[in-house]
Amino acid sequence: MDKFRALQYFIAAAEEGSFSGAARRLDVSVPSIAKLVTALERELRTRLVDRSPQGLELTAKGEAYLESCVPLLRQLADADFAAATATRQPERTLVVGAPALLSRILLVPALGQFRARHPHVQIDMRAIDQLTVTDAQTKGLDVLVALGWPGSVSLVQRRLAQSRLIVCASPDYWERHGIPSRPKDLSAHQCLLVRTPEGTVIDLWRHVRGEEAEEVAVRGWLISESRDYVLQAVLGGLGVGRFADISVWPHVKDGTLQPAMQDWDCNDSPPFSALYRPEARDDPQIQAFIGFLGELLGALETECQRALGARPTATRPGWYSKRQGRASTR
């Protein structure tokens, strides 16, 4: 068995959630992926993934093995890149688009790690918050980091992490107004809302708990296209917000944001993805940056899951294709 290739196939299958997704990413056949992953399980004498018609789920041992293997392969890829470019390292600029909030809180603070590995690569960061993506909007970008279901006919989309939407406020706000125990209680709170760049106010918050399901059309005094503005208002104790946990994890971790109703899940929780042109599959710098993104957001996903609970099943909400109005208006 080719152990290195088996690890590559296992990691790709785990990240894509299916053998078919891994096969598309690596441009090999589905049986090739399945055969080597099975051989790896046989060698380790343990089951790494549970297979079903809906896709793959990592077992507990599979999650632990993945967490150990990913950094090793990233380091090997970095070493290969460094060796291949040791004698000739021309300056290169990567143009990266990403949501402004994600860039400010997570991406920019972590760019030093990427710079240390690739000192000859410069990053041109651009704020891109579109939910739906067209080819014209990505013109000039090398990589687009998207939160949600962007959709694009011509771009390759690689899933980076799955978020969990959390309802949260400052500890001071909860102390003054009380912590809701279920979604319908939010109707008594100031819920600060995001308007998508396409014009939809996301005011319909759906949550499930086991067989229970509740949705509430929330209202508040602030609506903004900037998630960052909404976050600053929430941090200031001015209301309740709903955010992807990975995007605001540093604030949750330091206690300036306090989640509520953690026993309720939201199936509207959006995934993080990297989009790039098909010809960039063979571009070492672009692939190195996408690998860095996967490493960064994957580690944060694991940390958030341990603290805030398992990731819900991500389902594109019905309001997603709206161009104006409110999500609560059908």
Class of domain 165-269+313-326: alpha beta
Dig out the tokens for 314 from the structure.
């991500």
> Which residues fall within 8 angstroms of residue 120, CB to CB, at 6 or more apart?
85, 89, 90, 91, 92
How far apart (Å, rounded) are the C-alpha atoms in residues 37 and 164? 28
For the chain, state the CA radius of gyration. 21
Tens of pLDDT, residues 47-70: 888 888 777 888 988 888 888 888
pTM for this model (two decimals): 0.71
10: pLDDT strictly greater than 90: no
Q: In the CATH hierarchy, which top-level class contains the domain 3-82? A: mainly alpha
- With cut-offs at 50, 70 and 90, classify the pLDDT of residue 323: low
Name residues whose C-beta falls within 8 Å of residue 192's C-beta, 6 or more positions apart in sequence: 220, 221, 222, 223, 224, 230, 233, 234, 238, 239, 240, 241
Distances (CA, A) of 330 to 215, 301, 324: 13, 33, 11
The CATH fold of domain 90-163+270-308? D-Maltodextrin-Binding Protein; domain 2 (3.40.190)
Asked if pLDDT for residue 134 goes beyond 80, the answer is no
224: which DSSP letter? E
Strand runs labelled E in 151-269: 156-162, 165-169, 193-194, 200-201, 204-209, 212-217, 223-224, 241-244, 258-260
Whether 90-163+270-308 shares its CATH topology with 165-269+313-326 is answered yes
What is the spatial distance between Cα 171 and Cα 158, in angstroms, rounded to a whole number? Answer: 36
Q: Is the pLDDT of residue 88 over 60?
A: no
Give domain limits for the chain: 3-82, 90-163+270-308, 165-269+313-326
Please work out, in degrees rounded to the nearest 5, the angle formed at the alpha carbon of residue 304 by the alpha carbons of 299 and 305. Answer: 100
- pLDDT tens, residue by residue, 255-279: 999 999 999 998 888 899 999 988 9
